[in-house]
Structure 1
Amino acid sequence: MHHAIVSLHRWDDLAGVDDVLSHCLQELGGMAAFVRPGQTVVIKPNLTADAPEASGGTTHVALAEAVVRQVQACRPGSIVVAEGTGMFGLAHETAFPRPEWRAMAARTGIELYNLDAGPHTALSIDNGRYPGELPIADLLLQADVLITLPCLKTHITTDYTVALKNAYAHVPQATRTLAHRHYRVEHALVDINRLRPPDLVIVDGYDGAEGIAGGIKFDRPASARLMMAGADPVAVDVIARQLMGMSCRTRYLEWAAADGLGTSRSDEIEVRGEPVQALGRRFQTGAEEMCELLPGLQIIDQGACSGCRVAALSALQRYLEQGIAKPFALVFGEGDKIASLDRPALVLGNCASRHAHLGTWISGCPASADAVREAMEAQEMVCLKCRHLI
């Protein structure tokens, strides 16, 4: 039986990063269990949108530097800190726009690397979930050890983002954009991780981010004050979701477990250090913040998977600035039958067909975000005066 260990510890003081990291690693056998002398080690932080560290959206430099020190003690051949930052240019000099990262590199003697600069090798997987090839950065394919440093965050288009999602920058910006455009992010994430899985995951949960968060909006830091680590990215994600109070069905996590990337079974995961109950709290979801920002919107999630939830939130995302024109509801998931609503409704997905009497049913598994948007416009649920601008 597969057995995964996830180490979980309280991290109250940012300056105590070395001690907390040491505790996490000791329960996994120490850094020497992952890094041997002479090996090439790549450390992959999460620098989404260059958000400030205190937002919870970006890995703290202090954690990255502490990991570098742990790796250096194992006498590796080289250490590279790499991130895909195509929005800041393709040169390695622009990979890390904040000076703190360049100062850290100068202090420690490591290299900073822009994964978007390439080169990349196009690869595919037999029976893969993403249609076609995925170009993976050669640096990662050739590395002996990959250590990923994600943050603890919710995400508007993937429910949450921790270990598995931090691999998205393994492919270049153009590929990431294409996957978003065709609503194939979850498919891509599973195959990207299969092509180059991490050897060690260390989660920066000092702040964490809740609400819409991941990718576009980091103004709700969660003050989680924790660190976690493990070698199984699926198990780490399972415990991370428990810490955030998240029980929704997320396809890419289910697929990753089914495709052998790790275990999602609680009886196969041992949490060492502190219990989840001691450090966890419920994070606000993207859907909940969306309802706050769009008064009159009601989202009724009847146990749907992430497919229809992502379709709904992706369609709504473009109306965050202008708002909605009238109250309406979005219903998805099979759940218990709903007798009636006090507002017009769009019912999303094949599994929600039992609720079709509530309003306009949009079929599909999942429903298409474009179809949701078209239905909102056709029923004048959103203002169309500025349509050409969005």
Structure 2
Amino acid sequence: MTSQVAIRKCDDYDYARVTDAVHATLSSLGGIGAYIRSGQKVLIKPNMLSAKSPDRAVTTHPAVLEAVIREAQQAGGEVRVGDSPSAVFRGLARYWEATGYRAVAERTGVPLLNFEAGGTIARMIDGSEYHLARHVLEADVVINLPKMKTHGLTLYTGAVKNLYGCLPGFQKARYHKLYPKPEDFSRVLVDIYTCIRPVLTVMDAVFAMEGNGPSTGSSRRVGLILASADGIALDAVANRIMGYKPGEVHTTRIAGERGVGESDLDRIRIGGPGIESVALSDFVLPPTHLLRWVPRGLVRWAGRFLWVKPRTDVSRCTGCGVCARACPVRAIEMKDGLPVTDYDLCINCMCCNESCPEGAVYQEMSWLARRFS
């Protein structure tokens, strides 16, 4: 069956406009009733990467979350919202507050779930075992709410990458350590998506993040809500809108090759404005983007001069040490109240960038890398 991606324009986060756009995308897919039956337990997984305010474009906007909650409730679903951000060891309450999700939960009467406290269930796929949040796997329906963003390691974070938050605790750091290469890590992400298989994905692309994503990039108005029962098809469409070439984003390509979803744009039906009418020619991709196209021989020859690595803006750093605790390979050590990175150990996973509450970690490029970008 042909995968369909619904697209609707939505210029800002005015709640009435967001509600209309979300409802229109779901109606284009057959309506929310096609995915939820009355009495089913519904788990909604937003992107709650860090405790940032909605205007920073780091997390799924609360207006989008509330609109999807209301749709699910109207279908009779028993709705819950949950996530496991990377620096959750500092406490989850501040995430709910900063993102605006607690206020949404109070308005809608929806419980907020702590994946760390709920335990895990093991799932095997292709010989690999993943301990996924019990709250997710015991739900009858999972709805995925990613934010359109760039990512320094995987180039893009969307439907597939968003479900990495279904791994509670320090497992996330473990897989970064075991699979430091972007393509290998992307296979892990596709494994996790395959284990969960959300029935519906709704993407917040009203304001996206470009440049140094997923945490310290720039907010960019895209003005869209996207939805699909096939998260891979949605990612393929979002990749094209952002300016990536077909097959360039590993997660989308690998998932398509495995048959998890449809990654071929020619085989995806679009409901709403055509892709080319909303595609952006000047969306700023991450600094690591064009380095993927540099011949490996040149990288080996010019390794001393061709690099992208995390750096700390000491003027913004508060010395909290979150980056050091989040680093999967212990490449960061706190000295005199500031983080110091051992680049011989660093694997460029950008966990420090994702977890920094002050947005003080950025991607620095060598002069040669800047030439390629």
**Do the two structures share a fold, i.e. TM-score over 0.5?**
yes
Deviation at 1:124, TM superposition (A): 1.5
Corresponding position of 1:47: 48
1:143: which partner in 2? 139
> 1:207–1:223: 8 Å Cα contact kept in structure 2?
yes
Give the number of the structure whose alpha-carbon radius of gyration is greater. Answer: 1
CA contact (8 A) 1:85 1:114 kept: no
- Is the 1:47–1:83 Cα contact (8 Å) retained in structure 2? yes
Give the TM-score, by structure 2 length.
0.75
C-alpha distance in 2, partners of 1:209/1:95?
19
Q: Shift of the alpha carbon at 1:187?
A: 2.3
Contact 1:17/1:66 (8 A) holds in 2:
yes
Task: Identify the residue that residue 80 of structure 2 maps to in structure 1.
Answer: 80
> Tell me, what secondary structure is at the counterpart of 2:107?
helix
1:85 is displaced (CA, Å) by 2.8
The TM-score, its normalising length taken from structure 1, stands at 0.72
One-letter amino acid of the structure 1 residue matched with residue 268 of structure 2? I
Q: SS at 1:157's partner residue?
A: coil
The answer to whether the 8 A contact 2:50-2:95 is kept is no
Distance in 2 of aligned mates of 1:9 and 1:262: 22
Query: Aligned ranges for residues 130-279 of structure 1 at < 5 Å?
Result: 132-182=128-178, 183=180, 184-214=184-214, 216-218=215-217, 220-247=218-245, 249-279=248-278
Read off the aligned partner of 1:191 and give its amino acid letter.
Answer: D
Asked which structure has the greater RCO (Cα within 8 Å, sep 6+), the reply is 2
Cα pair 1:85 1:116 within 8 Å, conserved: no
Rounded to whole Å, the distance in 1 between the matches of 2:28 and 2:292 is 41
Q: Name the CA shift for 1:103/1:258 in 2 (closer, same or farther; >3 Å).
A: same
SS of the residue aligned with 1:222? strand
Which residue identity lines up with residue 41 of structure 1 in the other structure? V
CA 9–208 in structure 1, closer or farther in 2 if over 3 Å, else same: same
8 Å contact kept, 1:233–1:261: no
Q: Which residue of 2 aligns with 1:388?
A: none
Q: What is the letter of the counterpart of residue 112 of structure 2? A: L
On the 8 A contact 1:186/1:252 being kept in 2, the answer is yes
1:96–1:102: 8 Å Cα contact kept in structure 2?
yes
Task: State whether residues 147 and 204 of structure 2, in contact with CA within 8 Å, keep that contact through their aligned partners in structure 1.
Answer: yes
> Cα–Cα, structure 1 residues 261 and 288, in superposed 2: closer, same or farther, change >3 Å?
closer
Shift in alpha-carbon separation, 1:118–1:185, aligned structure 2, 3 A: farther
Unaligned runs of 5+ in 2: 315-343, 349-364, 367-373
Three-state SS of the structure 1 residue aligned to 2:212 is strand
Q: AA paired with 2:132?
A: I
Distance 1:48 1:36, change over 3 A: same
Using the TM superposition, give the Cα deviation of residue 146 of structure 1 relative to its aligned residue in structure 2, in angstroms.
Answer: 0.5
- SS of 1:287's partner is coil
Indicate the residue corresponding to 2:341 in structure 1.
none
